[in-house]
Each structure stands twice: as structure tokens, then as C-alpha cells.
Amino acid sequence: MTEATGDASSAGLPETTDAIALPGAWNRSELERLGFTGFVPLVGMDRSLPPRRHGVYVVLYESEERPAFLASNVITKRMPYDPVHLEGKWLMGAYVVYIGKAEGREGLHTRVGAFSRQAENHSGGRALWQLDIAGDLLVAWLETPGKSALAVEQSYLRAFKAEYGSYPFANRRG
């Protein structure tokens, strides 16, 4: 396990001051070791599962196979991304395809629930809905008591970018 401190990197994200435990690798076993729970299908998820607390969540694609990139998405009011652009953002070998945070009143319960319903008011990660394997995606979450979910998310994004040279596939930064 590694830790992030106030080390601002070239990722363009603000510094954090408290040590945040980071996964040694971006895979399910390392995330479970850090306390992530869930690991349930994102599409059709039982929305009562995520807790009503602040935290971070990740979306995983646990396959080595490259997905197909669709020209349309299920969020009809938003313009789809160009499939060529999406193909260029895909990171082979990266199981984590999105990192998000939940800081609202109902925390992970509301944020992950909206995401699983492919809700239009959840624009983060919308590139996921242009993958032909969207039904194979898993979501897992980690409560962040005593820490800002934003700070944890930013530390995770910095660490992911340090390892892969880019943010996760469906994160818009970068």
C-alpha cells in the first residue's frame, strides 16, 4: 500500500494534506484490501446497496478483451463522444475505467444509484454507456469517514495517472 500526501503533481489536481491509502495495483483484490465493497454489476444494481455516506467509487471492467465503442449512448439528451476518440482513450490492461466521488447529503447511495440508472443528471463517466460491454461493468465503493471524498478521489486520480500516463477511460480530465 502506498500513501498520497500533499504532493501536487503534473496531474493538475489540487494538493491534499492528509495521508490517503492508495492501492498497490488498480485491480479488485487491491481495492478490496483497502476496504472497497460492492463489486456488483453497475447496470441493474440494487440501489439500496450503496451506503448513505460520503465516499469514492470505481467502475471496473475485469476483462483483457478490448470492447467495441458505440456511436450512440443511452443518455439521449447528451451528444455522444466520437467512437474514434473513445478508442484512443481506452487503456489496455487497466481494470478501473472510472473513479468518482459522492459528497452529497445522501452520499454514495444517491450518486452511485443515479450512475447505475444511467441518469442524465450524472454526466461523469458517460463514455461508459458507449461501450458494448456496459452490462459487464462492476461498481465498488469506499466510505471516506474523516476524509474529504474529493481529496480521496483526487489522490486516486493522480496515482492512476502516474501509473498509466492518463486518467481512467471515462474520467473527462486529461
pLDDT tens-digit readout, 16-25: 446 889 999 9
Residue 133 lies in a domain: yes
Alpha-carbon gap, residue 91 to 89, rounded angstroms: 6
User: For 92-100, what is the mean pLDDT?
Assistant: 96
3-state class of 69 per DSSP? strand
Q: 123: pLDDT confidence band, cut at 50, 70 and 90?
A: low
Q: Is residue 118 part of a domain?
A: yes
Is 13 a domain residue?
Answer: no
Q: What is the pLDDT of residue 1?
A: 46
How much is the average pLDDT of 55-84?
88
Cα–chain center distance at 102: 11
Give residue 16's pLDDT: 43
Residue 1 lies in a domain: no
SS3 58: strand
The whole-number pLDDT of residue 122 equals 56
Q: Does 53 reside within a domain?
A: yes
Structural domain that includes position 73 = 18-164
Domain count, the chain: 1
How many residues can be counted in the chain? 174
Mean pLDDT of the chain: 86
User: pTM of the predicted model, to two decimals?
Assistant: 0.86
